[in-house]
Homo-oligomer: A and B are copies of this chain.
Amino acid sequence: MKVNIEIINIGDELLIGQVVNTNASWMGELMTKAGFSVQKMSSIADEAPAIQLALDQSVGNCDVVLISGGLGPTKDDITKKVLSEYFHSEMYFDENAYAHIQQLFASRGFAVTQVNKNQAFLPKKAQVIKNGNGTAYGMWFEEKNTVVISMPGVPFEMKAMLENEILPRLTEKYNIEKYADLTLMTTGLGESFLAEKIKLVEENLPSSIHLAYLPRPGIVRLRLSSRGEDKRLLQIQLQKESEKMIHILGKEVVYGFNEESIEEALGKILKERKLSMATAESCTGGMIAHKITSISGSSAYFQGSILSYSNEIKNKHLGVSDKDLEDFGAVSKEVVLQMAVGVKKAMNVDYAVATSGIAGPLGGSKDKPVGYTWIAVSGPKETKAQLFQFGEHRGRNIERASLAAINMLRLMVLEDS
């Protein structure tokens, strides 16, 4: 049985963009993984007509409405009032809720204020849901075959209530289809080229399996997802289809699974094989090293870097020939090859990667426009360089060059072993 869920997040701060709605994605992920089907998420204002309209559009059209926000003690929090009127429910004073609120205040050394006492008035038609972390109780209404649940908006209160109190009750109430997904992380091929390559596999996917292409700069994620009775069976089916794709695309393109980054993938390979690395960066300005060292445990394989923005440092610390710097320019194949070899030697490592390019927006020329970037990798067996032409945007050029460099290094280590 498919159980459709709609999520409504109440709060002006969401609409003006002051707060990014992380509650919605957290709720979406929890409910999806539990086997529910999230149909829609809405962010609306702390205003009665907006809440009523959202209820009109949801009640009767889905199985469960999860509402967060607007349950605080202050004037701008009106969700409880609006829901009680919407469901024509009188209020009562809940002694248990009041005892809980008193206890919470006592534990913090305060007396209960009147506005907080008012939080113990709750609608008769609702089952109330205890809030272990705060004073705002949750409410569970049922009408026209739709369950409407209201929770606080404070993330850690909402999360504990949804996960520990509400989800078990919903899972019991409905007999739910299980959900499984598997994401292949790919690099080096754009969306349309990937689609061309795996066309046959995609066309022959079982109808129960859904494939989504999710691009990010330099990366495309292929997400396979499915629903059914038996979670293990779903996982086996996804595994089987993903293997067909990996077989076609190869390990060069599919570098990992489920949100793994390229630097994580590289780190794993280096760690396994007890290899070390260093970087010599010009246009990427430390971004490659930053990505590598963001990974916990990277000190096992990362030795260090020499970032050389000036020619003097390229010469003095990396041993790049002054004549080549003069003849070919800092952004050239000759120079980037020497940078890679130079840092490998200076840091006494197995592998090194080097970058030299025009990040922009200034510094471009006709021959070497903004985005023109040389990347070299050097290992025990060989040293090689590749030319890339990225775009016009500095930040994206740095990001793309860093991803490309890490990936070139990953490919060389894979080839060598």
Please report A residues at the B interface, Cβ cutoff 8 Å. Answer: 12-22, 24-30, 32, 38-46, 50, 54, 57, 72-76, 107-110, 113, 115-116, 133, 154, 156, 181, 190-193, 195-196, 202, 210-215, 223, 225, 279, 281, 285-290, 292-294, 296-299, 302-310, 312-313, 316-317, 346-348, 359-363, 389, 391, 393-396, 398
Contact = CB atoms under 8 A, between A and B. Distances in A.
A315 B13 CA distance: 48
A305 B302 contact: no
Nearest to A154: B215
User: How many identical chains are in the complex?
Assistant: 2
9 contacts: A13-B223, A18-B214, A40-B44, A40-B50, A72-B213, A74-B192, A74-B195, A109-B389, A286-B289
A-side binding surface: helix, strand, loop or mixed?
Answer: mixed
B15 A115 contact: no
Given A287-B290, A289-B307, A398-B294, A28 B39 contact: no
Given A46-B212, A116-B192, A286-B293, 16 more contacts: A16-B38, A17-B24, A17-B38, A21-B21, A21-B41, A24-B43, A40-B42, A40-B54, A72-B215, A75-B195, A76-B211, A156-B396, A293-B398, A294-B398, A304-B310, A305-B305
Nearest to A395: B294
Q: Which 3 A-B pairs have the closest CB atoms?
A: A285-B293, A17-B29, A286-B289
A28 B17 contact: yes
B293 A303 contact: no
B317 A309 contact: no
A394 B294 contact: yes
Nearest to A213: B74
A191 to B, nearest CB: 6
B41 A16 contact: no
A362 B12 CA distance: 39
A306 B309 contact: no
A296 B362 contact: yes
B303 A306 contact: no
Contacts of A286: 281, 286-290, 293, 305, 307
A296 B360 contact: yes
Nearest to A17: B29
A285 B296 contact: no
Contacts of A113: 192-193, 196
> Most B CB atoms within 10 A — which of A26, A43, A308, A360?
A43
A17 B26 contact: yes
A28 B41 contact: no
A108 B285 CA distance: 23
Contacts of A304: 306-310, 313, 317
A193 B109 CA distance: 13
A116 B43 CA distance: 33
B299 A303 contact: no
A270 B225 CA distance: 52
A344 to B, nearest CB: 13
A236 to B, nearest CB: 21
A333 to B, nearest CB: 17
